[in-house]
Amino acid sequence: MSGFVDSAQLHAKGGDGGAGCVSFRREAHVAKGGPDGGDGGKGGDVWLVADHNQASLLGFRDHPFRRATDGEHGTSKRQHGSRGRDLEVPVPVGTVVTTLDGDVLVDLAHAGDRWRAAEGGLGGFGNNRFLSNRRRAPAFAEQGEHGEERWFNLELKLRADVALIGFPNVGKSTLISQISKARPKIADYPFTTLVPNLGVVRYSNRPGRDDAGTEFVVADIPGLIEGAAEGRGLGHSFLKHVEYARVLCVLLDMAPTATQTPEEQLEILLRELGDYQPALVERPRIVIGSRADMAAEVALPDGVTPVSSFTREGLNELVATMAQYVDTARREEVIHHSREIVVHRPVVDTVRVERRPNGEWQVLGRAALRAVRFQDLTNDEALEEVTRRLKEIGVDRLLTRAGALDGDVVTIGQLTFEWYRDATTAGLDRAGHHRATRRERLARQGRLEEFDDE
């Protein structure tokens, strides 16, 4: 079984918020103590963190579930519940998070990048929070909010400095084993490499001296074939690892067993790269002739240098060229990012109204759900607080604009009620008005016979 997995799914669940407490002071010599219920603690968040120590998404293949801890409930004496612990989930650098529909949410391109996958629910207010001059003994508290729960697709795209590209069995694995300490599987048959291999290359133009030189990562991309851009031969699975490489190193097979000439190989490989992503053709590129020790009289395109991993012919020059290209690409990236302006805009949590097929209305949005999260909705004071909150966030106005009529059924979270306008029904005969609006509602739902039977 391969230990490299470059695609998986994640189910992230934030911790639930703790419930607020309903409590009143009970002390000696205190006849009527006031409310002292504490608030519930917030649930923990789930964070994805890009980590260099993670090489693949193997840990998510069989165990995709990640959940943060819940917040604790509030208690008496105004003691608030503890907050749930956040959960940090390490993922490889280069992990792209998308929705199940394929929309990109975040690209964790650098080590230390963090993204909140699921937010923990807010804790509920204790009854001490609802004390006022009009309400001296509130006997209700808020329920904790449920944590966010979502499914994601995770896709790993390697962040290599140099990507080795070529047909199967062209010598990419042998090359990376010679210029780095990587030890990929090598055999004399096509598609020996089924997953990318990474190797760290260190180059110094002053060997033996105190010179850090250049260190870069080389990726051995599994062999491409004609039609890879359309997915042939798992082409998409291989080509996606080329997207973020700073430099491309194209290997042309010089061995007598090659079925195409070096010119034809180069033409096919560049065409596949362009068909997959046109920008790849403009990427800095090094083209070499591979397996030069097996070549007889093979004509190479202009500017192509023969290299042999077996005799080490041209390897030192190749590594020096790679280091030069990588240094140049890194400097250009720094200049580009220093000029780039990033604008952060807050995400607005809107409240909206939707019509159900059965003619009822549903109010959606986190603010609306928070407004009705009370433990006991049979309490008149709690219902009064719900009504105040809903008016404050404009639910009445949204229902009126959407065309809701008096007596229509409205659902917000776990709460279902019949809605009536206050101002528009003033001065009207409520019994006759409600009967008229009920007839309109049943006619709209195709159930007019129920009204006639009355």
Domain positions in the chain: 1-156, 162-339, 352-453
Find the DSSP H helices in 205-355: 235-239, 262-276, 315-339
Find the DSSP H helices in 220-344: 235-239, 262-276, 315-339
Distance CA 436, CA 269 (A): 74
Sorted by sequence, the CB contacts under 8 Å of residue 303 that are 6+ apart come out as 287
Q: pLDDT value at position 220?
A: 84
Q: pLDDT value at position 1?
A: 37
Same fold, 162-339 and 352-453: no
418 membership: H or E segment, kind and range: strand 415-419
Distance CA 172, CA 220 (A): 6
CATH superfamily for 1-156 is: GTP1/OBG domain (2.70.210.12)
User: What is the gyration radius of the CA atoms in the chain, in angstroms?
Assistant: 33
Sorted by sequence, the CB contacts under 8 Å of residue 122 that are 6+ apart come out as 17, 42, 43, 144, 145, 370
User: Residue 189 has which token pair?
Assistant: 């048959």
Q: pLDDT value at position 355?
A: 92
Full strand arrangement of the beta sheet holding 104-108: 65-67, 7-13, 149-156, 95-98, 104-108
Q: How do the pLDDT tens digits run along the chain, 454 residues long?
A: 345 677 899 999 999 999 999 999 887 777 667 899 999 999 999 999 998 888 788 889 889 999 999 999 999 989 999 999 999 999 988 899 999 998 999 989 888 899 999 999 999 999 999 998 888 889 899 999 999 999 999 998 877 889 898 888 888 888 988 888 766 555 454 544 556 777 888 887 765 554 557 888 888 887 665 554 444 444 456 677 788 888 999 999 888 888 888 888 889 888 888 888 888 889 999 999 888 888 767 778 888 888 888 888 889 999 999 999 999 988 888 777 666 666 666 666 789 999 999 889 999 998 898 889 888 888 888 888 998 899 999 998 999 899 888 888 999 988 888 888 764 433 334 444 455 455 566 666 666 565 555 5
Q: pLDDT value at position 235?
A: 44
Contact 274/280 with Cβ under 8 angstroms?
A: yes
Number of H helices, E strands in the chain: 10, 18
Amino acid at 63: H
Q: pLDDT value at position 229?
A: 47
Q: pLDDT value at position 234?
A: 45
Q: pLDDT value at position 228?
A: 46
| CA dihedral of 183, 241, 115, 148, whole degrees rounded to 10 | -110
**CATH dotted code for 352-453:** 3.30.300.350
Instruction: Name which of 305, 306, 223 is nearest 272 in CA terms.
Output: 223
Q: Hey, CA dihedral for 447, 449, 452, 454, is it positive or negative? A: negative
Q: In terms of DSSP bridges, do strands 87-92 and 46-51 run parallel, antiparallel, or are they unpaired? A: parallel
Beta bridge partners of 200: 217
250 membership: H or E segment, kind and range: strand 247-253
User: Residue 323 has which token pair?
Assistant: 């280091």
Full strand arrangement of the beta sheet holding 197-203: 197-203, 214-220, 162-165, 247-253, 285-290, 305-306
Report helix angle 172-179 to 315-339, nearest 10: 90
Q: pLDDT value at position 424?
A: 41
Q: How far apart are the first and last CA of the chain?
A: 71
Instruction: Name which of 412, 420, 419, 416 is nearest 370 in CA terms.
Output: 412
| pTM confidence score | 0.72
Instruction: Name which of 404, 450, 444, 4 is nearest 185 in CA terms.
Output: 4
Q: pLDDT value at position 196?
A: 75
Distance CA 93, CA 327 (A): 20
Q: pLDDT value at position 48?
A: 96
CATH superfamily for 162-339 is: P-loop containing nucleotide triphosphate hydrolases (3.40.50.300)
Q: In terms of DSSP bridges, do strands 408-412 and 415-419 run parallel, antiparallel, or are they unpaired? A: antiparallel
**What phi, psi does 48 have (nearest 5°)?**
-95, 130
Q: pLDDT value at position 122?
A: 94
